[in-house]
Structure 1
């Protein structure tokens, strides 16, 4: 049959290449779109990573800038490259003044050796431990610091320089010194307590027992022998009292010493009950400023012994204490009593006073005063006293 409409049948064989090309283009567009999306996601991730790194770097820079520690970056030749505000506050140099300078200029010789040791440990692949030393400030003073040295490396891990941190440990060392002093004080107090117990339990009891034995013997004596025996008994009683005072002092914690003038006046006041009157005290020269503590302790011990001797032997109505400090230190005790007994000049107490003077390069003399009574002179050169106090 013929085509009633007189039309030719459709033939799509010529459209197939066109449709195939369009599909390929659509596929390429899809791939390109996907690549663009992947690239966009990568760029976003990279931006986020860079922003995080920027923020981390900013935080690190803020930490370095606000830190009280001195933070330095050094090149491979140990020259200063950067210098944070903490370094300026601690050491006094500005970054402009110190940049390019060798870090060794900040250190005394001992500190340089320790720093070089830390650097060598890092160069050999190890880790440097923190060490304590002293560094120079710009004004020439020194500061105690704890120093940490670490490596600076590039992206490939090659060593390109060093970082150094110096922390001020002045207060830390002071606290450690106070703690050590407190421990030492406790040990001293424990030892003093032991000595006090021994004095009370053994020495005083023996002296007291000897006094009782002498009392029983004295009861059977008469005349001068009895008088001499009672004098010895009185001496033993005085010794017991002094031992009890010493024991009390041993139980007291050490106090910061008052001025030497005040301590001399205290010793004179303490002797008043035994003497029956207050000694007169005179000073001449810079007494407080001239004496090391150790020398002052010797002087006070001599004064204490001399006043005790006057109370026991002199039978005086007046005692004068004179302390003078110039080129030498002079302690002079004068009384108006019955004069020095030859037996007393050979006593162990006076021998001890002589030894104290000789130890400090000085002299000791005791004899009759020009107006009667006794005069004791204990003198030392102050230069010798200072050198002996430091040895």
Structure 2
């Protein structure tokens, strides 16, 4: 093979440089070749570093993805296990997700509710507050819970505390909203019971104060007045005057006895009846002494399941006032109480006395009329054939908290 001729390798044509003719040329070619090899080595090392960095980056990215998947799985497990309703909606308020807690609280299955508008959950008048909560979340404001009521699938309403948070994309734009609704019905009941207990404590404190005042001042003054009158009788010779004074003293003694009974009642803690029906019987029984007889009580229809609590409070007050008026003014020997809970509540109190005078109608019955008006009802007093009075107190059974919605 001659020097300087082309070299054939692997079937390809590779033209080599002409061999150096002198030692200097050979040394220069060697140095040039070393430089090329050094540059190639540097490039290879740099490429290796880049590949190593890329490997580390891929490993870190894979780790982050796995951690994100784990966090998402844990969050999903929390949402599924939560007893609260956790739902998500898009910017148009279309429901996107619906957890089992929402199904339990509101009665809708996810398959039936996803894709429908969240507005369907809101009762009339609740939409403005919901829109304000969405706007506040979109503006980045701190999410304050909003207490409201939502529709259930069965048509009923449930008390809920709603918290709204905005979901955002990588560019910061709102992509939807996460909503958590917590059932607060039990909490509201406990708050109401606590408020009632506090009010009862205040009432008992007032009752104790009144009882002390009655015992320490009123009874003592009445007793002293009776003693004074008794001492006066010894100075009188007129039998008729003595009899009248003795009658007044007897009335004072009866008044003292009534005051003592009132003080005893004030010292007793008020006992809650187990039902409204029982409280009605208690009111009628309590009227027996001032009336001199026991009024009859008749029920036509359910009581405890049909009459809302708010109406029941007014009903008892009206019944007590009506029986008290009979005892004070009617001079009756019989009274009848009838409670009808058909399409409305009708309380009828009748007596066989002499009737109520015009003055009593204007003053003593004004409160009964006001209670009926407050509940959207009516009140009237009429005479009975053959003598006596009939009182009719009528109010609707719907439109009150906890009221019946029967047709």
Judge same fold: TM > 0.5, yes or no.
yes
Alignment match of 1:254 (pick from 251, 266, 270)? 270
What's the secondary structure of 1:164's corresponding residue?
strand
Query: 1:59 Cα shift?
Result: 0.7
2:338 match: 325
- Matched residue SS, 1:166: strand
Gaps of 5+ in 1: 1-11, 311-319, 334-339, 371-375, 387-391
Counterpart-to-counterpart distance in 1, 2:42 and 2:366: 113
Counterpart secondary structure, 2:92: coil
**In structure 2, distance between residues paired with 1:254 and 1:224:** 45
For 2:258 and 2:301, locate their aligned partners in 1 and report how far apart those are by CA, in whole Å.
Answer: 27
Out of 109-118 and 41-50, give the one that drifted further. Answer: 41-50
- Between the aligned partners of 2:364 and 2:301, the Cα distance in structure 1 is 20
C-alpha displacement at 1:189, in angstroms? Answer: 1.3
State the match for 1:294 in structure 2: 317
After superposition, the C-alpha distances for 1:211-265 in whole angstroms (9 at most, x for unaligned) are 1110110122252221221111011011001001111111222211344335545
Report what 1:383 is aligned to: 394
Aligned to 1:233: 249
Aligned partner of 1:283 in structure 2 is 296
SS across alignment from 1:256: coil
Matched with 1:389 is: none
From 98, 103, 107, give the equivalent of 2:118.
103
Structure 2 CA distance for aligned equivalents of residues 323 and 103 of structure 1: 53
8 Å Cα contact 1:119-1:149 kept in structure 2: yes
Aligned to 2:156: 141
Residue 223 (1) aligns with residue 260 (2): no
Map of 1:116 onto structure 2: 131
CA separation of 1:281 and 1:64: change in aligned 2, threshold 3 A: same
Match of 1:362 among 381, 388, 392: 381
Partner of 1:373: none
State the number of aligned residues. 338
Asked if the contact 2:283/2:320 (under 8 Å) is kept, the reply is: no
Q: C-alpha displacement at 1:160, in angstroms?
A: 1.8
**Residues 131 and 57 (structure 1 numbering): CA distance in 2 closer, same or farther, change over 3 Å?**
same
Contact 1:79 1:100 in 2 (8 A): yes
SS in 1 for 2:188: helix
Residue matched to 1:336: none
SS in 1 for 2:235: coil
| CA distance, structure 2, for counterparts of residue 244 and residue 169 of structure 1 | 46
Which residue in the other structure is 1:315 paired with? none
- On the 8 A contact 1:261/1:287 being kept in 2, the answer is no
Q: Deviations over 1:328-384 (max 9, x none)?
A: 323569xxxxxx9xxxx99xxxx989965675443699xxxx9xxxxx966422438
Shift of residue 93, structure 1, vs aligned partner: 1.3
Go from structure 1 to structure 2 and tell me whether the alpha carbon gap of 1:159 and 1:120 turns closer, same or farther (over 3 Å shift): same
> For the structure 1 residues 86 and 358, does the alpha-carbon distance in structure 2 shift closer, same or farther, using more than 3 Å as the test?
closer
Cross-structure match for 1:82:
97
CA distance in 1 between partners of 2:190 and 2:180 (Å): 22
Render the CA deviation track for 1:180-201: whole Å, top value 9, x for unaligned: 1111111111222222222222
- C-alpha displacement at 1:285, in angstroms? 3.0
- Are the structure 2 counterparts of residues 303 and 226 from structure 1 closer, same or farther at C-alpha, using a change threshold of 3 Å? same
Checking the alignment, whether the CA contact within 8 Å between 1:135 and 1:143 is kept in structure 2 is yes
Question: What pairs with 1:1-391 in structure 2 (closer than 5 Å)?
Answer: 31-221=46-236, 222-257=238-273, 258-261=278-281, 264-265=284-285, 268=288, 281=294, 283=296, 285-286=298-299, 292-298=315-321, 301=324, 323-325=336-338, 328-331=348-351, 356=364, 360=368, 361-362=380-381, 379-383=390-394
CA spacing shift, 1:137–1:385, aligned 2, 3 Å? closer
Q: TM-score, normalised by structure 2?
A: 0.69
Which whole-Å CA distance do the structure 1 matches of 2:132 and 2:40 have between them? 70
For residues 289 and 382 of structure 1, what CA distance do their matches in structure 2 show? 17
Contact 2:229–2:245 (Cα < 8 Å) also in 1: yes
Q: RMSD in angstroms over aligned alpha carbons? A: 4.1
CA contact (8 A) 1:145 1:170 kept: yes
